Amino acid sequence: MEATETTHHAPQQIVPKRTGDYLEVMSKAVFQTGISWKVVENKWPGIRDAFRGFDHRKVASLTEAEMAELGADPRVIRNRRKIEAIVDNARTMLDLEEQHGSFKNYLRSHGDFEKTVADLRKHFKFMGETGAFYFLYVVGEKVPSYEDWCRSRGREPMTAAPHS
């Protein structure tokens, strides 16, 4: 993954080079659901290693026994439902990649942000509105501004804490 410049108010964006880059960003959104982002960030190197570098083909081929091993691995946030979701999401990515020629083509096949979010939520586990927005933003897809997105959902945008 190649990082692009960003401000401290937003997560770092990437230029995905392979489908596994999309899986890694989506998996981070999955793990961040209901958990402090700091916990996820601190564990991320171990999570990346445990999930085979997020090679989507390797993750998609994990067996029940291998998922059970991940569930006992101290490097990983040991939530069996999330581990299973990530494996299922990798399998879904493989299917969509095959149907559309690439995962990027799939993402761009919906015409607009709201339709893309709806389809992500339909196909991928643990992918709510916020996770979908985060995912699309980080992988460099066109999204509304965070402030506009929050307000369109009747929420006030959160502000980032200043760096110390």
114 vs 111: CA distance, rounded Å: 9
Please say if the pLDDT value at position 155 is more than 80: yes
How many domains does the chain contain in total?
1
State pLDDT tens for residues 95-123: 999 999 999 999 999 999 999 999 999 99
State pLDDT tens for residues 60-82: 999 999 999 999 999 999 999 99
Quote the domain boundaries for residue 125.
20-152
Please say if the pLDDT value at position 53 is more than 80: yes
CATH number at residue 145: 1.10.340.30
pTM for the complete prediction?
Answer: 0.89
Least confident piece of the model among 24-28, 75-79, 82-86, 160-164: 160-164
* 49 within some domain: yes
For Cα atoms 58, 93, 56, give the angle at the middle one, nearest 5 degrees.
Answer: 20
* 42 within some domain: yes
* 44 within some domain: yes
Q: Judge whether 24 and 58 are in contact, CB under 8 Å.
A: no
* 14 within some domain: no
Q: What is the pLDDT of residue 9?
A: 56
* 1 within some domain: no
Q: Which residues make Cβ contacts (< 8 Å) with residue 11, sequence separation at least 6?
A: 134, 137, 138
* 112 within some domain: yes
* 48 within some domain: yes
